[in-house]
Structure 1
């Protein structure tokens, strides 16, 4: 029988070492690919959230001041909370800016007629008879308008092809009035004619506050009014700064910062700047230019 020679211990150890080196390299590449994939996924998710915030905020800003009847100069509200008109109904043409707070964040409120409109068949206060069932529920804010006036009220009852604006809930009077500001004690009735328009009234605020997910960081919020109470939705987590600049009518392009003297009824465009918090997105390794989201929105109804 011929002698069959095997491998020596040294050869075995060398082979094992080479195998471990090869396996370590493969494992390192795998971990690197996993990290890259996670970073790419995190960046993609962030971009999607930013895109959503941009789309929703842009829609609100473009819609500012829309009432359906082209008469945003004459707006009366019969809605009151604790006997006074609430801040979320401070019309100013449908766009209200604010000065920066202690953290250097600004906010903005946008108001407009939203959803499907219905036409008035006849108006016998408090009932508005309509050409179709309105897309409104009891407690919703609504507007009714014609070529001369717009009235904001809370829906007190809804039926098939009608709704009412009775002096209940937030409505201080059944009258829809003429004067602005509206004085409930001396209200003057307003009968809206055939073909006046009725739709939902949206009042939306964009602002930055402590996140509901992690109070150590701030988020971008969108606030709406539901049955007379503010309801907040967290739109974008990890926002360090929110600011606005305003393009004025009949001036060269160059949005200006908010000031108390700014006439918001003359704003025709809004420049939005959102700066993301570096501490939140360190794993994505974004430079300051990548953390800054800036866009300009023209206000269509001015």
Structure 2
């Protein structure tokens, strides 16, 4: 029997190359699809983490352990700090106004009452102390909120006795200081935000079942992460020096924030004169980029996602 001719052999080799090329092309296409899908998956994961953690804190802005929209007696002496912004709950920074953030990105500070705490057991009339019903983690100089279903008060604990669970809120001591030991409304004129012409101290008795919790605050922004990219960061704010920034998730290229004010129909950017105490919702818009260059022209995949958060303390 005659063997293959040279022409037949060349045809067979050519067909083999075509089949091999097709197989390699399918493999490369599948690999590119896999890399693109993986990049999108990571973007979606970063978005879920960012939105969930940010929304959890923004949702609780200006919140307390008792009820919503309570009148507040803030007797803290040192004004102009985050602990005096609890009634507002939020403070936004637009277009890189926060020094730690990347230029062109927004940032936000959120203040609320923390979870946990302890219920009031007894409060002595016309005094600067009260007792709670069980052990707690309060320490001197903590900024605390005490509330019932009629009012809330913000003060600094000037002394804490863990043995008999007594909390003291006197004047004249503390890193921030209290302008009065009375926790009621109206506040005297000597207090920042006090009633003009009022020299009387109004004592508020918080009865058993009232709640005492710590005041907490955090700052969210986008910054360079030192790995040739950007990340979303959170800083837990404290008296004196803030805690070190926590990297929440990487790949966040931009954060844009808009706010809905009660009675309005359009969201607006942070601006001087915005009444933060009337903000009822925040629209978060994140621009995220994948880590690998699997997009068009070898660029990373980029997605813009948004999420709207209602403030529980201000909406029914």
- TM bin, normalised by shorter chain, reads 0.7 to 0.9
1:150 equivalent in alignment to 2:150: no
Partner residue, 1:96: 91
Structure 2, gaps ≥5 residues long: 98-102
Deviation at 1:120, TM superposition (A): 0.6
Q: For 1:143-190, what per-residue CA distance to the aligned partner results, in whole angstroms no more than 9, with x for missing partners?
A: 22233331243696574783645787745359655445389xx9x787
Match of 2:257 among 244, 247, 251: 244
1:262 equivalent to 2:274? Answer: yes
Mapped to 2, the partners of 1:234 and 1:139 lie a distance apart of 28
Match for residue 111 of structure 1? 111
Residues 1:150 and 1:257: Cα distance change in structure 2 (over 3 Å): same
Q: Which residue of 1 aligns with 2:177?
A: 172
Aligned residue among 20, 24, 37 for 1:23: 20
Return the alpha-carbon distance in structure 2 between the equivalents of residues 144 and 250 of structure 1: 30
CA contact (8 A) 1:205 1:222 kept: yes
How far off is 1:16 after superposition?
5.1
Q: Tell me if structure 1 keeps the 8 A contact 2:46–2:251.
A: no
1:229 to 234, 241, 253: 241
RMSD in angstroms over aligned alpha carbons? 4.1
| SS of corresponding position for 2:66 | coil
For 1:1-302, what aligned pairs fall within 5 Å after superposition? 15=12, 18-70=15-67, 72-76=70-74, 78=76, 86-87=81-82, 89-101=84-96, 103-123=103-123, 128-134=130-136, 141-146=143-148, 147-153=150-156, 159=162, 162=165, 164=167, 170-172=175-177, 176-178=181-183, 179=187, 180-181=191-192, 192-211=206-225, 213-214=226-227, 216-225=228-237, 229-231=241-243, 232-251=245-264, 253-276=265-288, 282-284=293-295, 291-302=303-314
Deviations 1:99-156 (A, max 9, x none): 4336232221111112224211124787653233336678765322233331243696
Secondary structure of the residue that 1:244 maps to in structure 2? strand
- Alpha-carbon distance, 1:64 to partner: 0.9
Structure with a larger share of its residues in strand: 1
**Gap change, CA 1:73 and 1:173, over 3 Å in 2:** closer
How does the TM-score come out when normalised to structure 1?
A: 0.75
The Cα shift of 1:49 comes to: 0.9
Q: Distance in 2 between matches of 1:173 and 1:194?
A: 23
Match of 1:283, SS state, is: coil
Range 40-49 or range 221-230, more displaced: 221-230
